[in-house]
Amino acid sequence: MKTEFFWTPIPGLGLPDELPGRLIVIEGTDSVGRSTQMQLLRSWLERRGVAVHDTGLTRGRLAGQDIQTAKQGHTMGPRTQCLFYATDFADRLETEIVPALRAGYVVVTDRYIYSLMARSAVRGMEREWLRKLYGFALKPTLTLYLKISVSGLLPRALSAGGFDFWESGMDYLAEETLYDAFVKHQSALLAEFEAMTAEYGFTVIDASVDVRRGFEEVQRHVWPVVADLVPSGDVVTDPLFEPAYRPGEVRNEDRRSLSERVREVLTALLEESE
């Protein structure tokens, strides 16, 4: 992938113009199904011999833990919260994502600067300031935006354990119930994502359909950007979940259709019984 930043490069890193890895971003609001898609994507790529590194927000070693602690106390102002997240993101980008990209991994990240900007924007931070703040971020190879409506989100949020304080924006909203806050906060977040879709060229994945169909879409978009990293040789398939989507690789066993194989087996059985 090309080493490109949104605005200004990370100081002191001295990156080459090209990185051997790929950066794939899975974006979308809370409980839209990002982690399921990530797991499927990871095992699909790994079975094909592609090295995958996955990562997510607030998992950084520098500030990740302290952000969680600070959230317990609900004591952060919006700007402080925003910059705390930015610190954690910068640490993860520099010490985890960039080294993996340098080593040729496909880095799949659960959320990127877009979620961080959306969260801060709905809490009143200026959009222009946010875009410049995150100007040090690498431009991803592909951003898959899992799109859903608030009504589509409700059953997922409920089955994931109900409405969460932060996912309902209760730190800044003054709504009567968690439900009201959730709807208001999530609608605002979705509007931010919607606005960013054209601006950043998101690839939109319909997250309202079932997981399998959603994943077929994911595969269809991921394949072209990783195809050159796939080693030749047999594909080890997962008997429990072999994705329906078959990328354009041409292999002998793929050419043989299922009916052909059935015919072979039946012929063999018939020969035996004769």
Partner 1 sequence: MQPSEQYRGRLFVVEGIDGSGKSTQIDLLYKWLLARGQAAFFSEWNSSPLVKRTTSRGKRRHLLQPLTFSLIHATDFADRTERTIIPPLKAGAAVLADRYVYTAFARDGARGCDPAWIRQLYSFAVRPTVGFYFRVPLEVALDRILSGRPELKYYEAGMDLGLADDVVESFKLFQARILQEYDRIVEEFNLTVIDGTLPIGVQQQQVREIVEPFLDGLLPRPDDGRSGPPPREGEA
Which of 149, 144, 146, 148 minimizes the C-alpha distance to 202?
Answer: 144
Q: How far apart are the first and last CA of the chain?
A: 60
Q: Is 129 in the site for partner 1 (CB under 8 A)?
A: yes
Separation between Cα atoms, residue 114 and residue 120, nearest integer Å: 10
* Cβ 85 to partner 1 shortest distance, Å: 9
Q: Is 8 in the site for partner 1 (CB under 8 A)?
A: yes
Q: Is 136 in the site for partner 1 (CB under 8 A)?
A: yes
Separation between Cα atoms, residue 21 and residue 98, nearest integer Å: 9
Separation between Cα atoms, residue 215 and residue 220, nearest integer Å: 8
> What is the chain's length?
274
Q: Is 10 in the site for partner 1 (CB under 8 A)?
A: yes
Q: Is 15 in the site for partner 1 (CB under 8 A)?
A: no
* Cβ 224 to partner 1 shortest distance, Å: 32
Q: Is 132 in the site for partner 1 (CB under 8 A)?
A: yes
Residue closer to partner 1 by CB (options 124, 201) is 124
Residue 226 contacts by C-beta under 8 Å, 6 or more apart in sequence?
22, 45, 50, 106
Per-residue CA distances from 61 to 15, 27, 90, 221 (Å):
22, 22, 11, 31
For 54, list phi and psi in degrees, rounded to 5.
-110, 150
Q: Is 203 in the site for partner 1 (CB under 8 A)?
A: no
Q: Would you give the binding string for partner 1 spanning residues 56-85, x where CB under 8 A is met?
A: -----xxx--x--xx----xxx-xx-xxx-
Q: Which window, 1-9, 27-35, 109-117, 258-266, contacts partner 1 (CB under 8 A)?
A: 1-9
Residue closer to partner 1 by CB (options 12, 16) is 12
Q: Which window, 55-63, 176-184, 227-235, 243-251, contacts partner 1 (CB under 8 A)?
A: 55-63
Which of 57, 206, 176, 66 minimizes the C-alpha distance to 120?
Answer: 57
Q: Do the beta carbons of residue 3 and residue 19 sit within 8 Å? A: yes
* Cβ 63 to partner 1 shortest distance, Å: 5
Q: Would you give the binding string for partner 1 spanning residues 81-120, x where CB under 8 A is met?
A: -xxx-xx--xx--xx-------------------------
Residue closer to partner 1 by CB (options 135, 224) is 135
Q: Is 188 in the site for partner 1 (CB under 8 A)?
A: no
> CB-based burial of residue 3 (10 Å sphere; 0-12 exposed, 13-18 middle, 19+ buried)?
middle
Q: Which residues contact partner 1 (rule: CB under 8 A)?
A: 7-12, 61-63, 66, 69-70, 75-77, 79-80, 82-84, 86-87, 90-91, 94-95, 129, 132-133, 135-136
